[in-house]
């Protein structure tokens, strides 16, 4: 039986690296995309340690020409792509008032348009063949307004919408689209995502509350391999779903937000006392952030 050919973007760290290694260990021929081949030493070392093979492809999801070159290289080597995991992304902190247009555009270019670029690169041959899977890794922050993370929320919310659009458009061609929505997962992204600009001086509490939620999550963060297993399931299952929540707080927070009224949402944002905010957030969203 021929191994399925799977491309995982952003394979150098976090969820992408865990997914590339996990799929390779479970019979996939994996191409991991990285922005620079000479910075993939840890990925290759882990692959060797685990006795699996990861083939590298150099591309930057933020650049049209780079994506075109990278996927041309993959298709030349492999002949086809059966599954694409759009994982590459960045965080983006800031309240709406304090974020520049450039900040929004930069995050959207990577997190949203990057996934679109990579999807466009594989869709012609998937459509012609009448099969394929595209898994878009979004975030629980794509399902509700996450305090002081406006660029990230915007990009992930937009990717959720584009994913629904793709699922509708591509079903007629036998192409499956799945959305994976991680909560707090062990990843290098949290070490990089520490900005709290507060340029106006008006939003100190907002940044503090964002960090409190993540501090609670990091204490209980789920190993990235759990996300990798969900991605494998989304690719291989005979009973596909459109959305999958995974990792700390994901299912609870999505369910909690879906159950909230507009009045509850407005009241949560208007809460002045930090301790009361943490208590009320925990009660409404189904995760405990009061002990941090």
- Residues classed as catalytic: 152
Largest interatomic CA distance in the chain: 61
Strands 29-34 and 5-8: parallel
H-helix or E-strand spanning residue 83: strand 83-86
Angstrom distance (rounded) from CA 42 to CA 13 = 9
- Which H or E run includes 6? strand 5-8
3-state secondary structure of 90: coil
Secondary structure class of 48 (helix, strand, coil) = helix
CB atoms within 10 A of CB 202: 11
What are the DSSP calls for 120-176, one per residue?
HHHHHHHHHHT-EEEEEE--GGGTS--TTBHHHHHHHHHHHHHHHHHHHHHGGGTEE
Hey, what long-range contacts does 56-61 have (CB within 8 A, 24 or more apart)? 56/11, 56/31, 56/32, 57/7, 57/31, 57/32, 57/33, 58/33, 58/34, 59/9, 59/33, 59/34, 59/35, 60/35, 61/9, 61/10, 61/33, 61/88, 61/110, 61/114, 61/115, 61/117, 61/118
For residue 237, list its beta bridge partners: none
């Amino acid at each position: 039986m021929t191994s399925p050919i799977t491309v995982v973007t952003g394979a150098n760290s976090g969820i992408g690296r865990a997914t590339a290694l996990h799929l390779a260990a479970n019979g996939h021929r994996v191409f991991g995309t990285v922005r620079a081949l000479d910075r993939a030493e840890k990925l290759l070392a882990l692959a060797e340690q685990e006795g699996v093979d990861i083939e590298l492809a150099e591309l930057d999801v933020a650049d049209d020409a780079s994506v075109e070159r990278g996927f041309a290289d993959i298709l030349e080597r492999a002949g086809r792509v059966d599954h694409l995991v759009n994982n590459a992304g960045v965080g983006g902190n800031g309240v709406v008032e304090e974020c520049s247009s450039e900040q929004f555009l930069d995050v959207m270019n990577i997190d949203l348009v990057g996934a679109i670029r990579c999807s466009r690169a594989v869709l012609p041959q998937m459509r012609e063949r009448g099969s394929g899977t595209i898994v878009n890794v979004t975030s629980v922050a794509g399902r509700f307004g996450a305090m002081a993370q406006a660029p990230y929320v915007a990009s992930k919310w937009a990717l959720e919408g584009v994913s629904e659009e793709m699922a509708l458009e591509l079903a007629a061609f036998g192409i499956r689209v799945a959305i994976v929505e991680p909560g707090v997962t062990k990843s290098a992204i949290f070490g990089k995502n520490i900005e709290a600009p507060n340029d106006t001086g008006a939003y100190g509490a907002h940044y503090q509350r964002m960090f409190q939620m993540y501090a609670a999550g990091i204490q209980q963060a789920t190993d990235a391999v759990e996300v990798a297993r969900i991605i494998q399931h989304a690719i291989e299952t005979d009973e596909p779903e459109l959305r999958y929540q995974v990792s700390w707080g994901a299912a609870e927070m999505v369910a909690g937000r879906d159950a909230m009224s507009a009045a509850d949402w407005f009241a949560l944002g208007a809460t002045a006392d930090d301790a009361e905010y943490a208590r009320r957030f925990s009660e409404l969203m189904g995760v405990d952030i009061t002990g941090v």
